[in-house]
């Protein structure tokens, strides 16, 4: 099993940007699940999109260390949360709703995902539903407010270098069970 870095968090938390920086810094391949899923707003039903997202996760091998940037809703399915933990150490990138809004604004390329009237309300609604799931899956939580992506990437890279293969109790248990 490889030691990969998995990034989860709300839209606008910096997952894709930070994954690219980490890939270059650590000389690791980068997989952006939204890109692999050919994410296009309104291009398919929510269920079809989530099915494809799950298939993308299942298709990621554990043989090569990788930086994986996930879509914000990847954690909604229990099977995906289990798979994320199998793939590597999960880092949840966080920022207050106001910061997320400042980063993404009213981007027409990002559809509202709840019955909200605007993006601010949509982000609040999503955070309320998703935050407990991010906490459930995360080995580490990294705050991004007031930090440049390179600073966040450097912190994750430092943790990666220090901890490779099994620094978290969950990873040790997974490795132990896999060996049994």
Is 0.75 surpassed by the pTM of this model?
Answer: yes
Number of alpha helices (DSSP H) and beta strands (DSSP E) in the chain: 8, 5
Contact of 84 with 90, CB cutoff 8 Å: yes
Domains (range + CATH), the chain? 4-179 (3.40.50.300)
b/e 54-84 (16+ beta carbons within 10 angstroms → b): bebbeebeeeebbbbbbbbbbbbbeebbebb
Over the stretch 75-110, which tens digit does the pLDDT of each residue have? Answer: 999 999 999 999 999 999 999 999 998 988 777 667
How many angstroms separate the Cα of 120 from the Cα of each of 14, 39, 98? Answer: 17, 22, 8
Position 152 scores a pLDDT of 97
Position 87 scores a pLDDT of 94
Intervals of the chain under pLDDT 50 = 41, 43, 165-167, 169, 173-178, 180
Position 3 scores a pLDDT of 82
Position 52 scores a pLDDT of 87
Contact of 149 with 25, CB cutoff 8 Å: no
């Amino acid at each position: 099993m490889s030691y990969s870095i998995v990034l989860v968090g709300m839209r606008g938390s910096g997952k894709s940007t930070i994954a690219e920086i980490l890939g270059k810094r650590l000389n690791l391949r980068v997989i952006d699940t939204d890109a692999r899923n050919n994410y296009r707003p309104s291009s398919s039903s929510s269920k079809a999109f989530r099915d494809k997202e799950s298939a993308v996760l299942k298709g990621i091998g554990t043989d090569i260390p990788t930086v994986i940037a996930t879509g914000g809703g990847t954690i909604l399915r229990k099977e995906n949360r289990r798979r994320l933990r199998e793939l590597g150490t999960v880092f949840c990138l966080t920022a207050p709703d106001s910061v997320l809004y400042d980063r993404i604004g009213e981007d027409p390329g990002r559809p509202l995902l709840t019955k909200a009237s605007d993006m601010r309300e949509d982000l609040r609604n999503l955070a309320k539903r998703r935050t407990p799931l991010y906490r459930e899956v995360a080995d580490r939580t990294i705050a991004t407010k007031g930090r440049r992506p390179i600073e966040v990437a450097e912190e994750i890279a430092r943790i990666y270098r220090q901890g490779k293969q099994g620094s978290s109790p969950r990873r040790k248990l997974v490795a132990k069970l896999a060996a049994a």
